[in-house]
A and B are shown apart, each in its own frame.
Chain A
Amino acid sequence: AQSVAQPEDQVNVAEGNPLTVKCTYSVSGNPYLFWYVQYPNRGLQFLLKYITGDNLVKGSYGFEAEFNKSQTSFHLKKPSALVSDSALYFCAVRDMANFNKFYFGSGTKLNVKP
């Protein structure tokens, strides 16, 4: 079965410091991996995705994610955090054997302090 794990409920980082939000996955076959961000009282916004190709994927708002097949990870990163990055982040994997299913992680709350 496909699954996604976000091991941290919350990540705290100071503004200007690099940030990492962790995600590991379990899939059969090649994974389609996604990151979404949810600001308070809003829907989810697409940030970036990995389908194939370069392991480092760049997305919106200066975020990037690194696909690591051997570690089955897809961690979200940003070199310099902003207070406005504070939000809830979701990792997701698409079930390639069943195109309708997106499996979402439980979410990680990112707090960036000034």
Chain B
Amino acid sequence: GAGVSQSPSNKVTEKGKDVELRCDPISGHTALYWYRQSLGQGLEFLIYFQGNSAPDKSGLPSDRFSAERTGGSVSTLTIQRTQQEDSAVYLCASSPTGSSGNTIYFGEGSWLTVV
């Protein structure tokens, strides 16, 4: 696609429920990133994919968070047993690799509210 696409754009869920957030990167981009942004705050790195593998999961805040990427394209971030502190904007970004892969491009984000 023309840009990074994320869905849903908005999600309200009850505490304790599981949620899945989807990211469709720019076509041909092999690197994919997930970040979290709390209201008006900076960006918190969650996880990075190169192809289908995740060499860096260091930012996942707890074992309730997991992510996968299939076919080197779409990625899903899953949050199990959601808590109110999970409320945030979840931003996905992608980039090509090699010498041209030095800029990452963001989607519009998935706004998660846990009530």
Which residues in A have some Cβ–Cβ distance to B below 8 Å?
32, 34, 36, 41-46, 49, 51, 88, 90, 94, 98-102, 104-107
Assembly CA distance A99 to B48 (angstroms)? 10
Residues on the A chain within 8 Å of B31, using CB:
100
Output the least CB separation between A6 and chain B (Å).
9
Give the interface SS of chain B, mostly helix, strand, loop or mixed. strand
Q: Please provide the chain B residues from 86 to 100 with a CB less than 8 Å away from any CB of chain A in the complex.
A: 91, 93
Q: Indicate if B65 sits at the interface (CB-CB under 8 A).
A: no
Q: Do A43 and B109 form a contact, CB below 8 Å, given A34-B103, A102-B104?
A: yes
- Pairwise interchain contact A43-B55, C-beta atoms closer than 8 A: no
- Pairwise interchain contact A104-B103, C-beta atoms closer than 8 A: no
Residues on the B chain within 8 Å of A45, using CB:
106
Output the least CB separation between A37 and chain B (Å).
11
Q: Do A44 and B48 form a contact, CB below 8 Å, given A90-B42, A99-B101, A107-B41?
A: no
- Pairwise interchain contact B106-A44, C-beta atoms closer than 8 A: yes
- In the assembled complex, 15 residue pairs joining A and B whose CB atoms fall closer than 8 Å, in A order, are A43-B91, A43-B108, A43-B109, A45-B106, A46-B105, A88-B40, A90-B42, A90-B43, A100-B55, A101-B45, A101-B48, A102-B45, A105-B42, A106-B42, A107-B42
**What is the count of residue pairs linking A and B with beta-carbon distances less than 8 angstroms?**
50
Residues on the A chain within 8 Å of B33, using CB:
100, 102
Q: Indicate if B107 sits at the interface (CB-CB under 8 A).
A: yes
Residues on the B chain within 8 Å of A99, using CB:
101
Q: How many residues on B have C-beta within 8 angstroms of the other chain's C-beta atoms?
A: 25
Assembly CA distance A93 to B65 (angstroms)? 26
Residues on the B chain within 8 Å of A90, using CB:
42-43
Q: Find the B residue at minimum CB distance from A34.
A: B103
Assembly CA distance A42 to B41 (angstroms)? 13
- Pairwise interchain contact A32-B56, C-beta atoms closer than 8 A: no
Q: Indicate if B102 sits at the interface (CB-CB under 8 A).
A: yes
Residues on the A chain within 8 Å of B48, using CB:
100-101
Residues on the A chain within 8 Å of B35, using CB:
104
Contact partner, B106, options A43, A100, A101, Cβ 8 Å:
A43
Assembly CA distance A70 to B40 (angstroms)? 31
Q: Indicate if B83 sits at the interface (CB-CB under 8 A).
A: no
